[in-house]
Amino acid sequence: MEFPAAISQTAHQIDHVSLALLGMSTLLVVAVWFTIVLFCWRYYKGSQVDRTNPPKKARRLELVVMGIIFLVGFGIFFWSARLFYHLTLANRNAPEIFIIAKQWMWTVHDPRYGDNINRVIVPLGQPVRLIMTSEDVIHSFYIPALRIKQDVLPGRYTTLAFVPEKIGQYEILCSQYCGLDHATMRATLDVVSAEDYRNRTASVSSVHLGKDIYIKHQCAACHSGPTAPPLTHLYGQSVALQGGKHVIADENYIRRSLVDPNREIVAGYSAVMPTFQGQLSERELAALIEYLKAGTP
Amino acid sequence: MTKSYLTPLWDWKAWLFTTDHKRIGILYALTITLFFIVGAAGAAIIRFALLSSHASLVSAELYNKAFTAHGVVMVWFFLIPSIPATLGNFLLPLMIGADDLSFPRLNLLSWYLFIAGALITLTALFIGGVDTGWTFYTPYSTMFSNSYVELAVTGVIVAGFSSILTGLNFIVTTHMKRAEGMTWMKLPLFVWSLYATSLILVLATPVLAITLFALIIERAFHIGIFDPSLGGDPLLFQHFFWFYSHPAVYIMILPGMGVVSELIAAYARRPVFGYKMIAYSSMAIGILGFFLWGHHMFVAGQSAYASMAFSILSFLIGIPSAIKVFNWVATLYKGEITLDAPMLYALGFVGLFTVGGLTGFFLAALAVDVHLHDTFFVIAHFHFIMVGGMLMAYLGGLHFWWPKITGRLYPKRLARWAAVILFVGFNITFFPQFILGYMGMPRRYAEYPDHLLWLNWISSAGTLLLALGYLLPLVYLVRSLKSGSPATDNPWDARGLEWQTTSPPPKENFLKPPVIPSHPYPYDQKAPS
Amino acid sequence: MKNRVPAGLLGMWVFLASEVLFFSTLILAFWVYRHEWPVEFSDGVRHMDLIAGSVNTAVLLTSSWTMALALASSPRWKGRLLVLTAFLGAVFLVIKGSEYFMHARDGMLPPISWSPPQSAPAFKLFFILYFLITGLHALHLSIGIGCVLWARLRMALRREVSETLLENLGLYWHFVDIVWIFLFPLFYLIGGHA
């Protein structure tokens, strides 16, 4: 019986919070169980002990006990919330790897090194960001060694970011029930040295594939003219929409613009862009996004 | 000699057309026992299957249907009705000095709706089963599952109406039918807990009904409000589902807490310590419970800020629960304690509920939940509360009021042994699951990594003892109906108005008006003769 | 409360509380999606028959008035006003039914007929919610009409009809009316006819 190794700073910290919780819980459980046994033994019917003036209430004692529990609980909440905040919002600009889930396999698409099934290869010590979507039902990407998971939804991207700090192969498990073979929908996280990662043969890059798609669907017909907003260096910019709202052009925004273009129309333009939902697979959407991220379509 | 409510006993019309709350309570008790056995069969399949880490004993298909059946049946056809519809129905009017509930015919309708719902769902389970899990998450349930989802869900909706009507009945009864002199602050804590439970029944269940209804519409007609291809949001289903299902867990535990208050008072022979705090904390749990639902969705794609709000609120609800544990233990102080079976069950509840409740903190803590969500840790957490807590409270209450309900006594020594066996079997079965969860074993897994085999074996082995712990009371309680010694009006010298009438009571409950004490749990006074 | 309010009345209030939650869920779903897809939902509103909706609102409000009158009037007029109330409720249903018919004819009644003027997916979402919610409302109204007529029948047969029963009918009827007061702006007014 070996506990999964904690292979990142965050994983260690999660273990620490858990330990603190375990300590607090054990203390309280022992206190409660011990007191019950003690009282049952001492005040068993017929025992000759002082039973005069049993208290009906003890407001102060109760308030003190509750106060302590509240403070400890709040402390743990705060500690844990900070960690969570860091987990969800850190490494927003880390290099991305696309994960496309479907019953019952994980397609992994590394923009720089190409595709894989059920295997995510990442370099040691560097932040990486998984951008995930599902082609069918809700799945969940769970890496026990990193102590993290994130549900993977159809129709949008969810992200998971981490910094792996130990070389090795670690289990990835689907942790949102998704049908018959839910239990065998697994993958491997392969943490390799930075050098091994760099020395991988780069297959047809995503950017290349994305460019092919861009040409095939003649995006430039509109996007290099006055009828559509320009796409150069779009990624990361703040986009002004019709109606006054602003939105940051991240992966989700670009994806939405492709599958539902008339939902967020750029200010100063009309709703003329056709939708590509059903025409581009998740894989192709990812490649196109990578091409646009490269900056100069 | 006046007839008891049980006469006539073998007249089926007197049972199926009764409006007597006591008979209706028994009808519920018989039917939920049946459903418990069905749910337990699902559990047996699960634990048997998990003896193999490669699904070689039970196919994945059967496993997925087994855990769905186990969850659906246990939640909606055992836990939700259990204490309120059985002990609650029987005891509420007695405890407040009334002759029946405010709406006796509505009460019978509740039971028929319950049976109808159960029959519909059980049909779905037996003609082929459902494989979505009891949570029916979309889009799997609406667009991908090839099982009898609509049928199963229809049964749940119908049973939901039964819940709403029972809750309505209890609320009106508590307001309207208290005997003269029985003020709110003299009510037994069991009544307070039923009141809080009824509020949740009335306000939360409709949300489930409409959500499941929308699910059926989406599945049957392919017009869906959760369908992402139409712009719908599968997460909306989760929000609606958990808006009901989180308060639902308080429907399941509050009545158990009420029973425990009664049992500890009776077997320590002391008024419950901090009566007002326990009454208020029941209400607080009922109300606060409506604001926690998002803690089931920390990794679902919910905003991090919303998650933080749900997290802190989930910590807060630990406070009224902790108050109760403190007060129950304090009631033992300077008491005159006997350890009969009901007391063993009650103390078992306190001990196991404490563990279950504290593990709730692990799950409320955001970063830790990211690791533990959807693992066996969650399963262990809620089984500690539902089985270690609620089920033990139910058994304890059943034993305590058995003479009142049936007029018979059960064998005391055997009952004590059964309680201990249940406690031990329970811990062997479920404690290892905390460890399995932390080690990363997800739930709803027909097969799992090999190194988790031994813990699964221990857990499955424990179920044998657990089953014995269930079987023994079933056998000796049923046997006592024929051969148990007849019970007096108040065999435990307990307080509470129900003990001022005969065992079993007459149909109209009280032949002469009960004496209302000056304060609740008057164990410092002699029982009224 | 025990001696001031009849149990039946308290029961009806509790029941209506559960009904509020029942309708609130779908209305909330509508509200959330309206916020997600303002363009398509406004378009949906523009394809509603504002006149039919307004007439229906007036009809239902009037029926609430006749119901209140019925409860306050002498036995001679009670029966007639109850029938009038039920009649107005039926008028509402007829108008609603004709709206459904028109939508079906124009290809906007999923799943029976769907060939909409607008292909955006969320446009369908609007209509799905419209039919679900107004359908449930119409069901509740139908039950109300049935109960009102049943009470009238009992009165005509000289059977006992208690004060509490009539008051409860009134409460239920007003509730159904109030739900419509929320639905009308949601489906016919907000964001549409600017």
pLDDT of residue C1: 62
List the alpha helices (DSSP H) in chain A: 9-42, 59-89, 194-198, 206-216, 220-223, 251-259, 282-293
Per-residue pLDDT, averaged over C148-154, amounts to 93
Q: Which of B231, B354, B375 sits opposite A28 (nearest CB)?
A: B354
Strand A238-240 and strand A246-248: the pairing is antiparallel
Instruction: Band the pLDDT of A111: cuts 50, 70, 90.
Output: confident
Half-sphere exposure of A151 (CA within 13 A, CB side): 25
pLDDT of residue A27: 94
| pLDDT single digits (tens) B161-192 | 999 999 999 999 999 999 999 999 999 999 99
Separation between Cα atoms, residue B439 and residue B456, nearest integer Å: 12
pLDDT of residue C176: 97
- Which residues of chain C make contact with B142, given a CB cutoff of 8 A? none
Cβ contact B224–C128 (<8 Å): yes
Cβ contact B209–C22 (<8 Å): yes
Cβ contact B335–A39 (<8 Å): yes
Separation between Cα atoms, residue B262 and residue B287, nearest integer Å: 23
pLDDT of residue C193: 62
Instruction: Band the pLDDT of B153: cuts 50, 70, 90.
Output: very high
* CA-wise closest residue to C189 among C67, C44, C88, C70: C44
Quick one: fold of A96-198?
Immunoglobulin-like (2.60.40)
- Which residues of chain A make contact with B350, given a CB cutoff of 8 A? 32, 36
Chain A closest-CA separation from residue B219 CA (Å): 14
Which of B142, B161, B164 has the most C C-beta neighbours within 10 Å, making it the best mutation to test the interface with C?
B164
Decide: helix, strand or coil at residue B54. Answer: strand
Which is higher by pLDDT, C39 or A44?
A44
Chain B closest-CA separation from residue A241 CA (Å): 20
Determine phi and psi for A134, rounding to 5 degrees: -120, 150
Instruction: Band the pLDDT of A203: cuts 50, 70, 90.
Output: low
Which is higher by pLDDT, A274 or C93?
C93
Separation between Cα atoms, residue A98 and residue A90, nearest integer Å: 18
Give Cα B371 distance to the centre of its chain.
Answer: 28
Query: What are the boundaries of each domain within chain C?
Result: 7-189
pLDDT of residue A279: 87
Separation between Cα atoms, residue B188 and residue B279, nearest integer Å: 9
Calculate what percentage of chain B has a pLDDT beyond 70.
99
**Residue B164 touches partner C, C-beta closer than 8 Å:** yes
Query: Is A45 a residue whose pLDDT tops 70?
Result: yes
- Mean pLDDT taken over chain B: 95
Query: Is C150 a residue whose pLDDT tops 70?
Result: yes
| pLDDT single digits (tens) B230-259 | 888 999 999 999 999 999 999 999 999 999
Q: Which of B177, B223, B236 sits opposite C111 (nearest CB)?
A: B223
Chain A closest-CA separation from residue B273 CA (Å): 5
**Chains with ≥3 CB–CB distances under 8 Å to B:** A, C
| pLDDT single digits (tens) B211-237 | 999 999 999 988 889 988 888 899 999
Q: How many residues does chain A have?
A: 297
Q: C8-44: buried (b, 16+ CB within 10 Å) or exposed (e) per residue?
A: bbbbbebbbbbbbbbbbbbbebbeebbebbebbbbbb
Cβ contact B334–A50 (<8 Å): yes
Nearest CA in chain A to B267: A45
pLDDT of residue C121: 84
**Residue C120 touches partner A, C-beta closer than 8 Å:** yes
Cβ contact C37–A263 (<8 Å): yes
pLDDT of residue B491: 95
Per-residue pLDDT, averaged over C114-128, amounts to 87
Q: ipTM value of the model?
A: 0.93
Instruction: Band the pLDDT of A202: cuts 50, 70, 90.
Output: low
Instruction: Band the pLDDT of A204: cuts 50, 70, 90.
Output: low
Compute the C-alpha angle C46/C52/C58, nearest 5°: 120
Separation between Cα atoms, residue B170 and residue B21, nearest integer Å: 11
Instruction: Band the pLDDT of B127: cuts 50, 70, 90.
Output: very high
Does the domain at A206-293 match CATH 1.10.10.10? Answer given as: no
Does the domain at C7-189 match CATH 1.20.120.80? Answer given as: yes
pLDDT of residue A270: 87
Cβ contact A80–B368 (<8 Å): yes
Chain B closest-CA separation from residue A259 CA (Å): 10
Strand C108-109 and strand C113-114: the pairing is antiparallel
Which is higher by pLDDT, B41 or A66?
B41
Query: Is B64 a residue whose pLDDT tops 80?
Result: yes
**Residue B217 touches partner C, C-beta closer than 8 Å:** yes
Q: Which of B440, B454, B455 sits opposite A4 (nearest CB)?
A: B440
pLDDT of residue B416: 97
pLDDT of residue A55: 79
- Which residues of chain A make contact with B304, given a CB cutoff of 8 A? 84-85, 88-89
| pLDDT single digits (tens) A112-167 | 777 888 999 999 999 999 999 999 999 999 999 999 999 999 989 999 999 999 99
Nearest CA in chain B to A30: B351
Which of A27, A34, A36 has the most B C-beta neighbours within 10 Å, making it the best mutation to test the interface with B?
A36
Cβ contact B217–C122 (<8 Å): no
- Which residues of chain C make contact with B225, given a CB cutoff of 8 A? 29, 33, 125, 128-129, 132
pLDDT of residue C2: 66
pLDDT of residue B172: 97
Amino acid residing at C139: L
Best-predicted range by mean pLDDT among A248-257, C30-39, C84-93?
C84-93
pTM: 0.94
Query: What are the boundaries of each domain within chain A?
Result: 96-198, 206-293
Separation between Cα atoms, residue B495 and residue B326, nearest integer Å: 22
CB A225 within 8 A of CB A219: no
Amino acid residing at C50: L
Query: Is A52 a residue whose pLDDT tops 80?
Result: yes
CB B496 within 8 A of CB B188: yes
Domains of chain B and any CATH numbers = 15-500 (1.20.210.10)
Separation between Cα atoms, residue A102 and residue A154, nearest integer Å: 9
| pLDDT single digits (tens) B466-503 | 999 999 999 999 999 999 999 999 999 999 999 999 99
